[in-house]
Structure 1
Amino acid sequence: MLWIKILHIFFVIAWFAGLFYLPRIFVNLAQQNDHPDTYACLLGMARRLYSFTSLLAMPAVMFGLALYGAYGIGLYGPGNGWMHAKLLFVTLLIGYHLSCGAMLARFERHENKRSHTFYRWYNEITVLLLFGIVTMVVLKPF
């Protein structure tokens, strides 16, 4: 059981690392309208990072589901409200990940309309989600 937990934590950290960095590449892409060579290089980096981060997300979720099943926490019963909240944060994280894919597609089509400032702020969403997830898991407040 501990190995499953170790693998879950490892892949979650790796997944978050990718999600922390990808919007930073978007910041730079949004500033490269006059530099097509730099834009192409950054776009290639973003594509590879998104693909790799997507691969890391899958085992993070799979090992998380394995832990959920193995510990028999369940969604119902007294004291399991924290799990509802954690699953909400994880669902939002998956949505954030997918939205990064949609943003990447807009950059690939040269249809980005957002400023570099937007992407700087958008990058902070992962920090809030990470804080929420860790708080629920460690404190189990309800």
Structure 2
Amino acid sequence: MSDVLSVAYPWIKALHIMSVIAWMAGLFYLPRLFVYHTEQSEPGDSRDSVFQVMEYKLLRYIMQPSMIATWGFGLLLVMTPGIVDWGSVWPYAKLAGVVVMTWFHMWLSARRKEFARGANTRTGRQHRIMNEVPTLAMVVIVLAVVVKF
């Protein structure tokens, strides 16, 4: 298995990067949709239903598959011999960043369900603040992988 992973390494890495880009796009965009949803609609009005469809489709058809692919390709990279130096700090820092991004994904999913029930209690400002979480996680992940501290 390790020989196959070593030969496929460039392809797995490329697919991992593409998955991360798609996932990050959703992690950045969905909270912005929540800001607009909060500030420009009321539960039950026509804009509310449009926002709900947009949020659902983004989460279900883009973010969910790309998160799963990111984790899958990432685990394959971890299993590739010679790629990860477990004596360094960077793989653990990256893992922490990915766990934060996964938690944020789940948090966004819960917020979408609140909007669907007409039960959103957060303000646009609160959604704007939460929109910084994936940025902070991304900084940790990129620095960990590139600088390898």
Q: TM-score, structure 2 length as denominator?
A: 0.88
In structure 1, the residue matched to 2:106 is: 98
Residue 11 of structure 1 is aligned with which of 13, 19, 28? 19
Task: Give the Cα–Cα distance (whole angstroms) in 2 for the partners of residues 121 and 111 of structure 1.
Answer: 19
Per the alignment, in what secondary structure is the counterpart of residue 120 of structure 2?
Answer: coil
Asked if 1:71 is matched to 2:81, the reply is yes
Q: CA deviation at 1:33?
A: 1.7
Shift of 1:74: 5.8
Q: 1:83 aligns with which of 91, 113, 120?
A: 91
Name the amino acid aligned to 1:18.
Answer: G
User: Given the alignment of the two structures, is residue 37 of structure 1 paired with residue 39 of structure 2, yes or no?
Assistant: no
Structure 1 equivalent of residue 34 of structure 2: 26
- Structure 2 residue ranges without an equivalent (≥5): 1-8
Equivalent position amino acid for 1:66 in 2 = L
In the other structure, the counterpart of 2:5 is: none
Instruction: Say if 1:68 and 1:74, in contact at 8 Å, map to a contact too.
Output: no
Distance 1:136 1:44, change over 3 A: same
Q: Is the 8 A contact 2:44 2:118 kept in 1?
A: no
* CA distance in structure 1 between the aligned counterparts of 2:69 and 2:112, rounded to whole angstroms: 22
**TM-score scaled by length of structure 1:** 0.92
Name 1:55's counterpart in structure 2: 65
**Matched residues in 2 for 1:55 and 1:82: separation?**
26
Distance 1:92 1:34 in 2: 30
Q: How many residues align?
A: 138
Q: Which residue of structure 2 lines up, in the alignment, with residue 118 of structure 1? A: 126
The ranges of structure 1 where at least 4 consecutive aligned residues each deviate by more than 6 angstroms after the TM superposition are none
For structure 1, the 5+ residue unaligned runs are: none
RMSD: 1.3
